[in-house]
Chains A and B, each alone.
Chain A
């Protein structure tokens, strides 16, 4: 079971702290939703956790080893990262796009070794893309592209998946579909960390909730007890009602919180 820990992470830009002494420990099997207002530091946190952005202070450890000490290829095999609105820059076939996820496993030259073909077919099938296999990736709809990117991220079988707003811009059906797939990955023992704006989706699917405000971690814990109207008032400055439980939970915004 993989473990990801952050110890007093700080990232500064000039005098402003984007991340301010953020610490936590996560374990495989968890589906963590990172929530917070725009500019709260969610994307920065994910980049630092992915090892793509060095923290100015503090350190991230994956299974006890500091990220900075892992070789970039080794790290690439163990964690997958999806930025906001990932897209394909060339009209390559969907199967080629998904196969790019194997980059850290492949030698420097040549095509996809034959041994990987079944893995590719499985990844495509798991994301319902078998029919789209040869279609140019640039012609996919938003939902299909999101599935293709998820297949791309999962084909290398990483222990850790970090996704920055994976459901942004998706219609309800495709957003639900993406969340179901992410939850399945967590159920299979992976550690899944996603930045989310849709709090109802977070309430229904995430096992844990992490709330950021101005770069500080203001709440972290199992979703049920952590997601409260008081937290939403503190983090988003909104009055909200939280109804239902588990798969039936929803977050309803009532209005702006009265200042003072």
Chain B
């Protein structure tokens, strides 16, 4: 397949994102007609419709864009760095680290003392997990993957322990439901808390394009072309740790976006790693917005959690990827 012209793919992904963002503002549990919503938005005085948009749906959409973008970009950079089509942001252990931090906040009831305790401890957990992965895995790509897997399992073990010794069945329920991910009840406070970390992490990841392009030739040739592969590895870990750690600590674990988004754009950009970054970011944000719209418009009694939708859609994609890779193999 011929790659699309250079700016077409980002432009298309940007349009899709815009459409999804508008959809996310006008669709939701509270059934207000688009016309009323629009009137509420443009009206100078406060109204119910205006409040629904500005205090509920807008922060939610902004958060979905930030988190989805962080996942899409992290997945694309990691797949490029490790030259592994199955690499995804959770690989480095930061996702489970963030989940553990958040679950600890719920375990000790801190979340009821003040609302941002969960994301703050989640952030701390992500940083701790990232630091552990860094300490053990910085020497090579293989050790990075192995260290990430080890840290992930360690965090998962602590998560299981927290559930095991949960102070009450309700706390256990709260923990497990938190881990499934959700944008419900997210306010501007959450956006303001997560945004600096997510944007900072994404900025670090966004400038790795040249390095991951050179890595297409393997580490020895990339090194010979002037790429500091060790430094690239550290920066990617830092960027993913900040962006995905902050994202997970605010909305919970959201699987598959970071795995799927790069694959969907890759054939359209001629498989060049650097050219997947921007479209994959935009597509990650779009997919997460769509998944969030799904949680709101699919009529269920209990809230359908975000992680459930992304996994339900993502897992079959995994099979498709498997079939495709098998067909491409000699």
Give residues in A with beta carbon < 8 Å to B. 47, 50, 52, 72-73, 75-77, 79-83, 86-93, 96-97, 100-101, 103-104, 106, 108-109, 111, 134, 136, 152
Contacts and interface: CB of A to CB of B under 8 A. Distances in A.
B207 A108 contact: yes
10 contacts: A52-B224, A82-B221, A87-B218, A89-B216, A89-B218, A93-B3, A97-B216, A101-B225, A103-B226, A111-B6
Given A81-B224, A91-B271, A134-B2, A86 B213 contact: no
B271 A152 contact: no
Interface size class of B (residues with CB under 8 A): 20 to 34
B326 to A, nearest CB: 15
Contact of A52 (B210, B217, B223, B273): B223
A144 to B, nearest CB: 16
Nearest to A134: B2
B215 interface: yes
Contacts of B221: 81-83, 86
Contacts of B273: 90
Given A106-B210, A108-B207, A81 B216 contact: no
A104 B2 CA distance: 27
A72 B226 contact: yes
Nearest to B266: A90
Nearest to B223: A52
A152 B218 CA distance: 13
| Most A-side CB within 10 Å, residue of B2, B3, B220 | B220
B23 interface: no
Nearest to B215: A89
B226 A89 contact: no
Contact of A108 (B83, B210, B225, B271): B210
Interface string B1-35: 01100100000000000000000000000000000
A89 B225 CA distance: 16
A94 to B, nearest CB: 11
Given A93-B270, A134-B2, A104 B225 contact: yes
Given A87-B218, A100-B214, A92 B270 contact: yes
B80 to A, nearest CB: 8
B217 A88 contact: yes
The list of the 10 closest CB pairs from A to B, nearest first, reads A76-B226, A81-B224, A104-B226, A73-B226, A89-B83, A103-B225, A83-B220, A90-B271, A72-B226, A91-B271
Contacts of A101: 225
Given A96-B272, A103-B214, 12 more contacts: A52-B220, A52-B224, A79-B224, A82-B221, A100-B216, A103-B210, A103-B227, A104-B225, A109-B209, A111-B6, A134-B2, A136-B271
Contact of A90 (B3, B209, B272): B272
A76 B227 CA distance: 9
Interface in B172-228: 207, 209-210, 213-218, 220-221, 223-228
Nearest to A107: B210
Nearest to A73: B226
Contacts of A73: 226
A76 B225 contact: yes
| Most A-side CB within 10 Å, residue of B6, B216, B221, B226 | B221
Given A81-B221, A83-B221, A100-B214, A92 B271 contact: yes
Nearest to A77: B226
B11 to A, nearest CB: 15
B321 to A, nearest CB: 15
A182 to B, nearest CB: 17
| Most A-side CB within 10 Å, residue of B210, B217, B224, B226 | B224
A136 B273 CA distance: 14
Contacts of A52: 220, 223-224
Contacts of B83: 89-90
A75 B228 CA distance: 13
B223 A100 contact: no
Contacts of A103: 210, 213-214, 225-227
A174 B214 CA distance: 26
Contacts of A93: 3, 270
A136 B216 CA distance: 13
B216 A50 contact: no
Contacts of A89: 83, 215-218
A80 B2 CA distance: 30
Contacts of B207: 108-109
Nearest to B210: A108
